[in-house]
Structure 1
Amino acid sequence: MGSARGTGEANTAFAAVLLEAGCSHAALARKVNELGLLQGEVSRYDKASVTRWAQGMTPRGRAPEFIAAALAGFSGRPVAPVDIGFAEQGQKPVVARALTYREDVGETLHTLAELGSTDISRRSLLGAVPYVATALLDPQRQWMLWLLEDEQAPRLAVVAGSGPAEQVQAMIEMFDEMDNRFGGGGVRASIVHYLSTELAPMLQQRGLPTPQRRVLYTSAAKLAAMAGWCSYDSADYGLAERYMIQALRLCAEGGDRVLGGQILAGMSHLATSLGDPTEGVSLARVGIATAKSAGSPLGLMRLHAMAARGYAVLGDSRQATASLLAAGEKLEVSRGPAEESPWVRFLDHHYLEAEAALVHRDLGEAGQAERLALASVEANGDRRRRQAISRSVLATAFLQQNRLDEAVGTASNAVDLLAGVHSERSVQALRDFRARLAPHRGEAVVRDFERKARPILGTAA
Structure 2
Amino acid sequence: MARRERTPNTALASLMREGRIENAQLARAVNRLGKESGVPLHYDKSSVSHWLKGSMPKSEARPAIVEALSQLLRRPVTSSDAGLGNAAEPSSSADVVSGLIDLGKEDMDPSRRAVLSAGLYSALLIVPHYDDLAGRYHATAAGRTARIGMSDVATVRAMTEKIADILDDLGGGHARPMAASFLVNSVQNYLRADGTEETQKAMRSAAADLVYLTGWMAMYERHQRLGQRYYVKALELAGEGADHITYCRTLRGMALQASHLGYGNKALELADSAAEAAPAAGPRLVAFLRGQQAHGAAMVNDRRQAFRRLEETERALSRADGRNDAVGGYDRAAYEFHVAHVLWELGDRPGSVKALRRSNRYRPVQERQGRVHANGLLATRLLGMRHVEESCEVWSRFLDDYAGISSARGDEHFATLRNGLRPYQKLAVVRELSARVQDVARLKVA
> TM-score, normalized by length of structure 2?
0.84
State the partner residue of 1:96: 91
**Is the 8 Å Cα contact of residues 376 and 387 (structure 1) preserved in structure 2?**
no
Is 1:35 the equivalent of 2:33? yes
State the partner residue of 2:376: 392
Is 1:360 the equivalent of 2:343? yes
Structure 1 residues 5-404: aligned runs within 5 Å: 8-90=6-88, 95-97=90-92, 102=94, 107-124=95-112, 127-128=115-116, 130-134=119-123, 136-137=125-126, 139-140=127-128, 142-143=129-130, 145-146=132-133, 162-206=150-194, 208-294=195-281, 296-337=282-323, 344=328, 346-380=329-363, 381-404=365-388
Q: Which amino acid is the alignment partner of residue 336 of structure 1?
A: G
- Structure 2 residue corresponding to 1:443, chosen from 414, 424, 434: 424
Cα deviation per residue 1:59-113 (whole Å; 9 max; x = unaligned)?
Answer: 224321112212212211112222211122345xxx2316xxx5xxxx0011112
Q: Which amino acid is the alignment partner of residue 120 of structure 2?
A: Y
**Is the 8 Å Cα contact of residues 389 and 430 (structure 1) preserved in structure 2?**
no
What RMSD, in angstroms, separates the aligned Cα atoms of the two structures?
3.1
State the partner residue of 2:143: none
Residue 47 of structure 1: how far off its partner (Å)? 2.0
Larger radius of gyration: 2
Against the structure 1 CA distance between its residues 323 and 125, is the aligned structure 2 distance closer, same or farther, given a 3 Å change threshold? closer
> Aligned partners of 1:376 and 1:272: how far apart in 2?
19
Residue 348 of structure 1: how far off its partner (Å)? 0.9
Residue 240 of structure 1: how far off its partner (Å)? 1.0
Q: Which amino acid is the alignment partner of residue 108 of structure 1?
A: V
**Is the 8 Å Cα contact of residues 144 and 286 (structure 1) preserved in structure 2?**
no
> Aligned partners of 2:302 and 2:19: how far apart in 1?
23
User: SS where residue 81 of structure 1 aligns?
Assistant: coil
Number of residue pairs the alignment of both structures matches = 423
Q: Which amino acid is the alignment partner of residue 131 of structure 1?
A: L
Residue 146 of structure 1: how far off its partner (Å)? 4.3
Residue 251 of structure 1: how far off its partner (Å)? 0.2
> Aligned partners of 2:210 and 2:124: how far apart in 1?
21
Residue 415 of structure 1: how far off its partner (Å)? 4.1
- Structure 1 residue corresponding to 2:406, chosen from 396, 419, 422: 422
Cα deviation per residue 1:380-421 (whole Å; 9 max; x = unaligned)?
Answer: 343222112211232244245432332344235424422231
> Aligned partners of 1:442 and 1:179: how far apart in 2?
34
**Is the 8 Å Cα contact of residues 72 and 78 (structure 1) preserved in structure 2?**
yes
Cα deviation per residue 1:22-43 (whole Å; 9 max; x = unaligned)?
Answer: 3332222222222221222222
Moved segments of 4+, more than 4 Å? 341-344, 429-435, 445-451, 453-456
> TM-score, normalized by length of structure 1?
0.82
Q: Which amino acid is the alignment partner of residue 299 of structure 2?
A: V
Structure 1 stretch displaced more, 191-200 or 304-313: 304-313
> Aligned partners of 1:278 and 1:434: how far apart in 2?
33
Identify unmatched segments of 5+ residues in structure 2. 137-147
> Aligned partners of 1:450 and 1:245: how far apart in 2?
42
> Aligned partners of 1:399 and 1:364: how far apart in 2?
16
> Aligned partners of 2:301 and 2:413: how far apart in 1?
19
User: SS where residue 190 of structure 1 aligns?
Assistant: helix
Against the structure 1 CA distance between its residues 124 and 250, is the aligned structure 2 distance closer, same or farther, given a 3 Å change threshold? closer
Identify unmatched segments of 5+ residues in structure 1. 1-5, 151-159
**Is the 8 Å Cα contact of residues 217 and 250 (structure 1) preserved in structure 2?**
yes
Q: Which amino acid is the alignment partner of residue 39 of structure 1?
A: S
> Aligned partners of 1:216 and 1:343: how far apart in 2?
16
Against the structure 1 CA distance between its residues 424 and 144, is the aligned structure 2 distance closer, same or farther, given a 3 Å change threshold? farther
